[in-house]
Amino acid sequence: MAVVTGAGAGIGKACALAIAREGGNVVVADIDGSAAVACTAQIAAEAGHALALAMDIADAQAVAALFETAERHFGGVDLLVNNASAMHLTPRDHTILDLDLAVWDQTMATNLRGTLLCCRQAIPRMIARGGGAIVNMSSCQGLSGDTAQTSYAASKAAMNMLSASLATQYGHAQIRCNAVAPGLIMTERLLAKLDERMQRHLSRHQLLQRVGRPEDVAALVAFLLSDDAAFITGQVLCIDGGMLAHVPTYADGGNSRAARPAGDTAKAAAAPRC
């Protein structure tokens, strides 16, 4: 049985659907209860089994109730995907000097402390069942500096170390933990936020000439949760179309045979980064 947080939409929803399609029972947890219900309805339509729960992972009591309900409904917890994130705060997540400390505190409360709370609830239940697997949803922004998103990036970088610590401390109990770091993944939320020029700008820095899809990330998460990944733990796996794999001048065309549109470099230099 799997618990997936932030599973009402985007990557989390894709992960919940992928797990259900592999035959797993899924608890779909999201702060948006109606979105969680819609996801479970889609799973049910495909002959899967899921339970929707509206909750906030920043609330310790709500997290405890989530796992108690999951255990009572499905008999135990074997898998956990910590995907929930305070994305609504990112428009206010500015540079260090311009950052509202309330944004920092709220981002850490959800992204980092919320992930920790879920892990603390899941680990004893997994130990009781002989082991389990956890995937924490990090980000490429936790692996490289940016001109904004200070709180978000810091929370995701800390999540990478949390994942390594968990893998180290509970590997003897047959619990695996890995972090997945997506790059440009075109969710509905991101599609509404990025105009066409910004999409082109970001895509120029990828080695693969398309944007990522939530299903791409879900396929990796499903693999890491499966027995096929039984010897993989403590890793941070990027799924970014090669965005972080190349020298900085790649997008200028000097290190690629791929043709670059004339004038695109100058336009991109003037564009804000997400």
Q: What is the dihedral of CA 82, 15, 167, 111, to 10 degrees?
A: -20
> Buried b vs exposed e over 35-61: b needs ≥16 C-beta within 10 Å?
bbbbbbebbeeeebebbbbbbbbbbee
Question: If you write DSSP's letter for every residue of 178-240 in order, what string do you get?
Answer: EEEEE-SB--HHHHHH--HHHHHHHHTT-SSSS-B-HHHHHHHHHHHHSGGGTT--S-EEEES
DSSP three-state, residue 274 = coil
Which residue reads 């944007």 in tokens?
211
How are beta strands 79-82 and 50-54 bridged, if at all? unpaired
Using DSSP, how many helices (H) and how many strands (E) does the chain show? 10, 7
Phi-psi region of 108 (alpha: psi -120 to 50; beta: other; left: phi over 0): alpha
Residue 46 φ/ψ region, left for φ over 0, alpha for ψ in the -120 to 50 degree band, beta for the rest = alpha
Active-site annotation, residues: 152
CA atoms within 13 A on the CB side of 236: 21
Contact 72, 17 (CB under 8 A): no
Q: Work out the number of other CB atoms within 10 angstroms of the CB of residue 164.
A: 17
